[in-house]
Amino acid sequence: MKIAVVALGKIGLPLAVQFAETGHEVVGVDVNADVVATVNRGEEPFPGEAHLAEKLAELVPAGRLRATTDYADAVPGADAVVVVVPLFVDEASAEPDFGWMDSATTSIGEHLTRGTLVSYETTLPVGTTRSRWKPMLERISGMTEGTDFHLVFSPERVLTGRVFADLRKYPKLIGGLSDAGAAAARVFYESVLEFDERPDLDRPNGVWDLGSVEAAELAKLAETTYRDVNIGLANQFGRFAAAHGIDIYSVIEASNSQPYSHIHRPGIAVGGHCIPVYPRLYLWTDPDATVVRAAREANTAMPAYTVGLAGGALGGLEGRTVVVLGAAYRGGVKETAFSGVFPTVAALTQAGATVLVHDPLYTADELAGYGFTAYELGTPVDAAIIQADHREYADLTPADLPGIGVLVDGRRITEPEAWVGVDRIVVGAGRRSD
Ligand SMILES: NC(=O)C1=CN([C@@H]2O[C@H](COP(=O)(O)OP(=O)(O)OC[C@H]3O[C@@H](n4cnc5c(N)ncnc54)[C@H](O)[C@@H]3O)[C@@H](O)[C@H]2O)C=CC1
Ligand SMILES: CC(=O)N[C@H]1[C@@H](OP(=O)(O)OP(=O)(O)OC[C@H]2O[C@@H](n3ccc(=O)[nH]c3=O)[C@H](O)[C@@H]2O)O[C@H](C(=O)O)[C@@H](O)[C@@H]1O
């Protein structure tokens, strides 16, 4: 098969590699010429994805995978076009911003030929595939979906950093506009993916046809909104527990020892371009979903609450020097989309603190690009707030942060024994040391 993968980002590039590894001819299209050039050298454009570097170094020189900025070089004659261009939510209006996706869809439509399966994998509001992509592709290509080409939605559910393992582990959900489209998608995904056995599932692991594009769209929004709502609940429990001298982590461990409880972890922020965003895509079509809205509010309140913990312990933040540890939205990922670093720095600055930011994955110049002043370990500070659970932060000691009086651990990754003599506060557990 000839396959085009549209967007060689943190998801699209590993997908292109996966498809090439299963013996197909794969061309990746990206508008970023630097990304294309890097891939064509057989190198990875971003760090952190397990096995990506070695797979690229093998597949690209062997001519099994290449990249281009030119849709005309990738889409015509393709058996399948897989689209993973990001969709954004406009911060001010809370409306989805389809800009990048519309542009990609226009380019695909201009070069689409008969017999191609087009599969959108980007997370979408329910109804988008049918009401937006179908008419757009038909108008631009001059062809008819269902007879000339097939259009399906198949959400991508993998976690960055372990994409290749997750592709084997999770059922591949699909939804078509017709039975024939769904059948074509099944044939395609069964030929490019291999699935681990999952005795824990009621159905065999593999391609799961959900019967409609809308059901497949909702499945992705449901699982991610569930995560946000669950974390929102954990954050409310955590705030209550800390106020009552209870360690929520031991409570959650106890509650989750029974099979019907899966309470997530409280923390300083819910970041990334997925979990904080998808509930808003869901709310866009179901504005009455009060549970979803309340969880969003509970989670967005956490950075200011966490800064308040530091301020309370220091007796005010005016004139204090505070370092925020972690610019990334979670540990081990070089990504700042909706990261808790932004509201945390804003709240500290507003309270009059001098704010520094540290992240092992970012250079001082990169941090300056966000308007942050970089912090070097070993420089005196009054307080530190752990924002991202980078592994390195578990090993920090007060000697790394000379003068530190207060540590607010927003991710509960430090051990109390290492912080004797420092006022250590864990979000969700307060000052308890057990
Ligand atoms: N990052 C994640 O953890 C996950 C993301 N997803 C889905 O994958 C989508 C993509 O996410 P990432 O790969 O992380 O994004 P990314 O930000 O890593 O990469 C996006 C790429 O799209 C390219 N691009 C923009 N406009 C384009 C166009 N018109 N034509 C071709 N390429 C274009 C950019 O140059 C960039 O290389 C997300 O919106 C989400 O729906 C799904 C599961 C996990
Ligand atoms: C494990 C999982 O299901 N992940 C899905 C998710 O991945 P992502 O990279 O966003 O990470 P993740 O969800 O762990 O953390 C988000 C934030 O919550 C915070 N977080 C997390 C867990 C918790 O208990 N508490 C908490 O505060 C955490 O600190 C972060 O700030 O979104 C992807 C996507 O839809 O595109 C899915 O494909 C993935 O399967």
What is the per-residue pLDDT across 393-406, written as a single tens digit (0 to 9) for each?
A: 999 999 999 999 99
Ligand 2 pocket member 272 (CB < 6 A): yes
Percent of the chain surpassing pLDDT 90: 96
Closest CA to ligand 2's atom 5: 159
Shortest-distance ligand to the CA of residue 264:
2
Do residues 312 and 418 both lie within one domain? Answer: yes
- Domain's final residue, options 216, 233, 256: 216
Closest CA to ligand 1's atom 5: 11
Do residues 203 and 230 both lie within one domain? Answer: no
Percent of the chain surpassing pLDDT 70: 99
The 10s digit of each residue's pLDDT in 45-65 is 998 899 999 999 999 999 999
Ligand 1 pocket member 274 (CB < 6 A): yes
CB 16 within 8 A of CB 28: yes
Domain carrying residue 282 = 224-434
Ligand 2 pocket member 231 (CB < 6 A): yes
- Domain's final residue, options 186, 216, 246: 216
The 10s digit of each residue's pLDDT in 68-103 is 999 999 999 999 999 999 998 887 777 899 999 999
The 10s digit of each residue's pLDDT in 368-421 is 999 999 999 999 999 999 999 999 999 999 999 999 999 999 999 999 999 999
Pick the atom of ligand 1 nearest to 12's CA: 13
Q: How far is the CA of 121 from the centre of ligand 1 (A)?
A: 10
| Residue count of the chain | 434
Q: How far is the CA of 423 from the centre of ligand 1 (A)?
A: 41
Q: Long-range contacts for 69-73 (Cβ within 8 Å, ≥24 apart)? A: 69/29, 69/30, 69/31, 69/32, 69/33, 69/36, 70/29, 71/29, 71/107, 71/108, 71/110, 71/111, 72/111, 73/27, 73/29
* Confidence band, pLDDT 50/70/90 cuts, at residue 434: low
Closest CA to ligand 2's atom 23: 265
pLDDT at 219: 98
Domain count, the chain: 2
Q: How far is the CA of 29 from the centre of ligand 1 (A)?
A: 12
Ligand 1 pocket member 84 (CB < 6 A): yes
How far apart are the C-alpha atoms of 346 and 95, rounded to whole Å? 24
Pick the atom of ligand 2 nearest to 278's CA: 35
Predicted confidence (pLDDT) at residue 43 exceeds the cutoff of 90: yes
Q: What is the mean pLDDT of residues 212-220?
A: 98
Do residues 24 and 106 both lie within one domain? Answer: yes
Do residues 369 and 412 both lie within one domain? Answer: yes
CATH number where 206 lies: 3.40.50.720
Query: Mean of the per-residue pLDDT values for the chain?
Result: 96
The 10s digit of each residue's pLDDT in 227-280 is 999 999 999 999 999 999 999 999 999 999 999 999 999 999 999 989 999 999
* Confidence band, pLDDT 50/70/90 cuts, at residue 430: confident
- Domain's final residue, options 189, 216, 243: 216
How far apart are the C-alpha atoms of 222 and 220, rounded to whole Å? 5
Q: What is the mean pLDDT of residues 185-196?
A: 98
Predicted confidence (pLDDT) at residue 433 exceeds the cutoff of 70: no
pLDDT at 431: 84
The 10s digit of each residue's pLDDT in 12-40 is 999 999 999 999 999 999 999 999 999 99
Mutate to test the pocket of ligand 1, among 6, 17, 18, 30 (most ligand atoms within 8 A of CB): 30
Ligand 1 pocket member 280 (CB < 6 A): no
Pick the atom of ligand 2 nearest to 156's CA: 38
Of 82-96, 104-118, 170-184, the one with minimum mean pLDDT is 82-96
Q: How far is the CA of 275 from the centre of ligand 2 (A)?
A: 6
Do residues 294 and 424 both lie within one domain? Answer: yes
End-to-end CA distance of the chain: 57
